[in-house]
Homo-oligomer: A and B are copies of this chain.
């Protein structure tokens, strides 16, 4: 038996169409949803991400402004840009593209974004709202995973979800979202002992490691749902964290590309629309 490939592109398309419709209706009321993206430096992957976000905004009718700052930009200059976007009433969503160049203090910049414009959901105030069960803006990747699970009617309540990776951006918010939907949640990471034994218990296995082919078939319970959050570049190709062989063991699997990544952008649009509303 081969896994059902979860078509993130198709599910995201439905979301994007819905968002475009709502955006149109909001514009007819005189409000144009507006996302401001701050991009520092020349990181090639970041350039691609920002371009994709821009294009998705344009397609949905959401106004998008990209503020490009030099690689050598000072902390002060970056913070001034964020402050001015906070004050700008025409801007509903602010996103600072990560990673920042090493000389810049990422967490200080994120803390400066107005929590009510924080469409990436990385501000401590939004993390805490999620953790305390009163979410406002939720990080786009784990939110997209939840919507993908919903779209395929994958049961979550009472199921055992194992998350490999504990980042602020994916692993920890993913855990909180699955927990809120009544999953039993295990968070694993680089220090975890007996990872295969634990992963093999998962009804839902989320890989957010950043290592190509990290999740092998022996780590997957037959029939499990495997969510591949990895985006790794290997010889110019994009591959996930899950080895191709897992398609023979899993019940459901997200492809890379065409899986979670597509949902991330759709959720960014959804958060921006939400901020404008």
Chain A interfacial positions (CB closer than 8 Å to B): 107, 122-134, 157-160, 166, 168, 172, 175-176, 179, 182, 184-189, 191-193, 198
Asked whether, in the complex, the Cβ of A187 is within 8 Å of the Cβ of B189, the reply is: no
- CB-CB under 8 A from A124, the residues of chain B are 125, 128-129, 131-132, 134
Q: Is the interface of A mostly helix, strand, loop or mixed?
A: mixed
Asked whether, in the complex, the Cβ of A193 is within 8 Å of the Cβ of B134, the reply is: no
Number of identical monomers bound together in the oligomeric complex: 2
Asked whether, in the complex, the Cβ of B128 is within 8 Å of the Cβ of A129, the reply is: yes
Which residue of chain B has the shortest Cβ distance to A162 in the bound complex?
B186
Beyond A182-B189, A186-B186, A191-B182, is A123–B128 a contact (Cβ under 8 Å)? yes
From B127, B185, B188, contact of A131 by CB (8 A): B127
Asked whether, in the complex, the Cβ of A184 is within 8 Å of the Cβ of B187, the reply is: yes
Which residue of chain B has the shortest Cβ distance to A156 in the bound complex?
B191
- CB-CB under 8 A from A166, the residues of chain B are 179
Most chain B beta carbons < 10 A, residue from A126, A127, A159, A168: A127
In the assembled complex, 18 residue pairs joining A and B whose CB atoms fall closer than 8 Å, in A order, are A122-B132, A124-B128, A124-B134, A127-B131, A128-B130, A128-B131, A131-B168, A132-B168, A158-B191, A159-B193, A160-B193, A182-B191, A184-B186, A184-B187, A184-B188, A184-B191, A184-B193, A184-B198
Asked whether, in the complex, the Cβ of A192 is within 8 Å of the Cβ of B184, the reply is: yes
- Least CB distance from A2 to B in Å reads 27
Which residue of chain B has the shortest Cβ distance to A188 in the bound complex?
B184
- CB-CB under 8 A from A131, the residues of chain B are 124, 127-128, 130-131, 168, 172, 176
- Least CB distance from A246 to B in Å reads 21
Complex CA–CA separation, A53 to B50 (angstroms): 52
Asked whether, in the complex, the Cβ of B157 is within 8 Å of the Cβ of A191, the reply is: yes
Asked whether, in the complex, the Cβ of B192 is within 8 Å of the Cβ of A158, the reply is: yes
Asked whether, in the complex, the Cβ of A186 is within 8 Å of the Cβ of B185, the reply is: yes
Complex CA–CA separation, A186 to B162 (angstroms): 9
Most chain B beta carbons < 10 A, residue from A123, A130, A159, A184: A184
From B125, B126, B127, B187, contact of A185 by CB (8 A): B187
